[in-house]
Amino acid sequence: MSQQPSIKVIGAGLAGTEAAWQIARAGLKATLIEMRPSQKSPAHHSSEFAELVCSNSFGSLSSDRAAGLLQHELRYLNSLVINTADKYSVPAGGALAVDRSQFSSSLTKTLEKNELITIERNELKELPGDSEITVLATGPLTSKDLSTDIRQFTGLDDCHFFDAASPIIEGESIDLSIAFRASRYDKGDADYINCPMNKNQYIAFRDALLKAEQSELKDFEHKEANFFEGCLPIEELARRGEETMRYGPLKPIGLWDPRWGDLNDKDLRRAKRAYAVVQLRQEDRNGRLWNLVGFQTNLKWGEQKRIIKMIPGLQNAEFVRFGVMHRNTFIESPKLLEPTLQFIKRSNLFAAGQITGTEGYLAAVAGGWLAGTNAALLAKNCKPITLPPTTMIGALTHFISDLKDERNQKSKRSFQPMPPNFGLLPELKIRIKEKRNRYAAYRDRALNDLKYASENMKSQSTNHLHPLKVNS
């Protein structure tokens, strides 16, 4: 084993971190190459691995939600990243949110201590040679030189969209005589801070967003910007109509301050219920830092400060980080990748994470797990695996690689980032009308099929050859 060449993993984001760990768990050497801190990105704030540059949330914990199902699959597959997220979770109602600093720091230290993982801190400007097994996990912020080399290798122009991050403020600066703690519909603990608006306050706030000055978007004029629909800037939502924010991140439904009176009093509820509500989610384990949910923005920092202080309860807000926007790059994966995440034209080169066109933290982790596992299998002269399309991981990887699915031909011709969702899964044999029961059925099928597939894959190889290790 000492003569086995080290598998290269380019990029130490969520996907690269997971891939390197899975390679090491298989008993193989991995070289993890990360350009930070020698080369900075437009969105990162540190040189830690798996830094979360947008939200600190991994989505719903409930297994009958797409994000929750993907979390359950990753736990079953012994994902380092999701296990670390569980360890450093912070209160977030029914969601998995983390203390992003402790989360990234822990992952960095874990990989640094692993004797099978060598870490190189430098910018790689071109893909490694054809003879080297490599996992490309540079994410949507791939450096200019490497992006150019990838385009030359694929023969295709990269795709792009603009993504943004929300501001973070100090918890002590929130006025809790106005804001109140609650979770929507009182589900779970009161883990969110809620800032209620009446109609006049909401209209004034929207008007300010519409008139605010924005930062210049590099490479493209703002009017030509291609935003990812799942992460729209708050000012873009404001432009889409007077009610758009109220049906999105400022939705007031299910939120009630006990100081308003008895929730069961229908007349009082109609009279007192907020017209709109801005929610803040805990950033750190001590509850000192809070991010504004759904407030991704490209406004200039001075404008952010002025407008956010218009929100009731945030008039004295102290900012730890302002929102930023950056260009994200991804490849035309359906034309380039197999469901194993191998490049069609070079079988020892794998791609994982957001550069493949999957969207969101969990999808990046899932891609890293599969690419790292398959790179290890290839190094051991074993056949790389695919996961059933009835699982959320399998559905995502089949979506970004399958050109033969007639239902998706239209979306593949205009390939755009795709988050985990139940619409990717094959239909159930028996139609279930009630949505919650239908999603539960998708979940049960997915977890059963994942267990069956993993047991079958392990039985096909001896334990010392096969890197697949799962939780019972």
At residue 460, the pLDDT reads: 56
| Both tokens assigned to 371 | 């690419």
Global confidence as pTM? 0.74
Average pLDDT over residues 10-18: 95
Do 50 and 44 contact (CB within 8 A), yes or no?
no
Q: Assess whether pLDDT exceeds 60 at residue 462.
A: no
Of 228 and 291, the one with more pLDDT = 291
The half-sphere exposure of 45 on its side-chain side, counting CA atoms within 13 A, is 14
At residue 133, the pLDDT reads: 97
Of 294 and 197, the one with more pLDDT = 197
Least-confidence region, from 9-13, 163-167, 219-223, 311-315: 219-223
At residue 214, the pLDDT reads: 86
Percentage with pLDDT > 70 across the chain: 86
Give the Å distances, CA to CA, from 129 to 134, 272, 348, 349, 451.
Answer: 9, 66, 10, 10, 36
Chain mean position to CA 350: 20
Q: Assess whether pLDDT exceeds 60 at residue 140.
A: yes
Average pLDDT over residues 450-470: 66
Q: Assess whether pLDDT exceeds 50 at residue 395.
A: yes
**Closest residue by Cα to residue 283 from 52, 124, 448:** 52
Q: Assess whether pLDDT exceeds 50 at residue 326.
A: yes
Q: Assess whether pLDDT exceeds 70 at residue 425.
A: yes
Residues 6+ apart with CB under 8 A from 15: 137, 139, 352, 353, 354, 364, 365, 367, 368, 371
Full DSSP string of 43-104: S--SS-TT---S-SEEEE--TTSHHHHHHHHHHHTT-HHHHHHHHTEE--TTEEEE-HHHHH
- How far apart CA 461 and CA 467 sit, in angstroms, is 9
Average pLDDT over residues 240-263: 91
Average pLDDT over residues 98-118: 96
Q: Assess whether pLDDT exceeds 60 at residue 115.
A: yes
At residue 30, the pLDDT reads: 97
At residue 358, the pLDDT reads: 87
Q: All domains of the chain, ordered by start, with CATH?
A: 7-161+328-459 (3.50.50.60), 168-323 (2.40.30)
What is the band of 304 on the pLDDT scale with cuts at 50, 70, 90?
A: very high
Instruction: Give the three-state DSSP class for 364.
Output: helix
At residue 222, the pLDDT reads: 41
Full DSSP string of 110-140: HHHH-TTEEEEES---SPPPTTS-EEE--GG
Average pLDDT over residues 111-139: 93
Of 46 and 331, the one with more pLDDT = 331
At residue 226, the pLDDT reads: 55
Average pLDDT over residues 439-461: 86
- How far apart CA 138 and CA 124 sit, in angstroms, is 10
Average pLDDT over residues 135-164: 81
Percentage with pLDDT > 90 across the chain: 54
Question: Which contiguous run of DSSP H or E holds residue 321?
Answer: strand 319-321
At residue 215, the pLDDT reads: 79
The half-sphere exposure of 71 on its side-chain side, counting CA atoms within 13 A, is 21
Of 351 and 283, the one with more pLDDT = 351
Average pLDDT over residues 380-397: 94
At residue 314, the pLDDT reads: 97
